[in-house]
Amino acid sequence: MKSVFVLLAIVAFATATQVVDPFADRSISSAVVDVIEGLRDQMPCGFPGLGIPPLAPLKIPHKEINIDHPAFSLHGFVDSFRLNGLNDFDINEMKVNAITSKVTFRFIFNNVNVDTLYDFRLMMKKAGFTINMVGAGPAKFAIKDMHIFGTLKYSLGVLSGKLKVKSLDVRTHIGDVESDIEGILGDGTVNHKMNDILAEAVELAVNENENMIAETIETVALPMINDVLDDMTLADMVGSIGGGEDGEKQACIPPEA
């Protein structure tokens, strides 16, 4: 999640550093788009200056999972986790109002998908009843046509050179979910049906809880973003994002798969 916070912080950074003419919103928006596209190109190499590993794909050899939420609980682990598609997105909207220090954005992620081995115990509450799922095996899961959109407001200290994100309203809508997880309550027809239920539950959970998700993101992300920004000046941020010697950007050469 740290990478998402940094991405939002850099949007504010690009906006603030490009404010020369307060009426040049179009050129400021273009500058922000250029920065984000540069981040997208850098994702296969990560951001060493910020301590962020390669993100396209994001690989995790082993991870214990323990989540307790009012809507579901999930416990177990994943091995050979691979998250693809974080850099497969389009910038559908990017508008900057330099006077109000407000950024309006919409990103469309075409196909974010996971390939992993798992061993989970999952309990989901849906439509007034509880679904218990136990399983282990290979798993593939994809979210397609995912829209992430909203607004961000920021402030920039003239003397300190420090950014602060004042508000963050992030909305999410997904177009389609595909689940191909083997070993859910066995194999065959039951496994196929459980994949259908899981895909439907995820789609409904996201698309029908837009306000709750937005509030959760702001509550959790806003202080974390500002904690990161509080330790960095604009110059520090420029030097951390793929910069080489003398401030020149180095071309991203992805590590071997």
Q: What pLDDT score does 231 carry? A: 76
Strands (E), 157-250: 163-181
pLDDT, averaged across the chain: 81
**Residue 241 above 70 pLDDT?**
no
Structural domains in the chain plus CATH codes: 2-247 (3.15.10.30)
Tens digit of pLDDT for each residue in 124-180?
766 566 666 678 899 999 999 999 999 999 887 766 667 788 999 999 999 999 999
Dihedral angle over CA of 154, 156, 161, 162, nearest 10: -40
Strands (E), the chain: 58-68, 72-84, 89-97, 102-126, 129-156, 163-181
- Structure tokens given for 179: 């689940």
Q: What pLDDT score does 20 carry? A: 47
Please state whether the predicted TM-score (pTM) of the whole model is above 0.85.
no
Over residues 218-230, mean pLDDT? 86
Q: Which residues contact 35 (CB under 8 A, 6 or more apart)?
A: 10, 11, 13, 14
Q: What pLDDT score does 143 carry? A: 97
Q: What pLDDT score does 81 carry? A: 96
Preceding omega of 48 cis (within 30 degrees of 0): no
Q: What pLDDT score does 212 carry? A: 92
User: Of 84, 125, 91, which Cα lies nearest the Cα of 107?
Assistant: 91
Tens digit of pLDDT for each residue in 168-202?
999 999 999 999 999 877 778 888 888 998 899 99
User: What whole-number distance in Å separates Cα of residue 76 and Cα of residue 67?
Assistant: 9
